[in-house]
Amino acid sequence: MDAKTLCLGALQVGDASGYEIKKLFEEGVFSHIHEASFGSIYPALTRLVDEGLASCTAMPQDKRPDKKVYSITDKGREALVGALRLAPAPDKVRSDFLFILVFGHLLPASQLDRLIDQRIAWYRDSLRRMSECDLSHKPASARFVNGLGRAVYRAAAEYLELQKEGLLANIEGAMVVPSRAAE
């Protein structure tokens, strides 16, 4: 999904500036779903206006650069729904955390311990923020996605909490216990 479609989706949620769209991808509806940086958002918004898929109104502000508020047009909404109808590309995941974990046996147990604790804390924090946001006035689909995210993060946090000690014991066990058993 290209930056243009991503911005179109953001504008469908509500009128916004480039800066505000970035926040939607960082902390808002689209966090944990997709990424978008200034370097991709601003050029995409310009192209969207060029193609008549969005319109732009400059809102003068005191002591700050004009805020450019973008709105999706009818043509833009059509383009969005068109893009949404295409078969989704497979999810792309890049997790340094999991890659590191695979080689846990090469690392000091203290690092693994910290790594996993930090991950659990991150999940718990994300879960809290996902529960706190009020979706009662959002469409059922937004609540559905929120629920899915929470179910997945809860499962991950619980697995890590339950299985962490077992891993740490096994990692050390692989080095220490066998030689003892041979005594």
Q: How far apart are CA 16 and CA 71, in angstroms?
A: 7
Least distance (Å) between residue 69 CB and DNA: 7
Between helices 74-85 and 3-13, what is the axis angle to 10°?
120
Q: Which is nearer to a copy of itself, 49 or 145 (CB)?
A: 145
Pairing of strands 64-72, 54-61: antiparallel
Residues that bind DNA in the complex, under the rule CB under 7 A: 2-3, 17-20, 23, 35-40, 42-43, 45-46, 61, 63-68, 92
Q: What are the beta bridge partners of residue 61?
A: 64
Q: Which of DNA, a copy of itself, none has residue 30 at its interface (CB below 5 to 8 Å by kind)?
A: a copy of itself
Least distance (Å) between residue 63 CB and DNA: 4
Residues that bind a copy of itself in the complex, under the rule CB under 8 A: 1, 6, 9, 12, 29-30, 32-35, 80-81, 84-85, 88-89, 91-107, 111-112, 115, 139-142, 144-145, 147-149, 151-152, 154-156, 158-160, 163, 166-167, 170-171, 173-174
Non-local CB neighbours of 11 within 8 Å, separated by 6+ positions: 21, 48, 54, 70, 71, 72, 76
3-state class (DSSP) for residue 57? strand
Least distance (Å) between residue 138 CB and a copy of itself: 9
User: Among candidates 128, 129, 137, which has minimal Cα distance to 28?
Assistant: 129
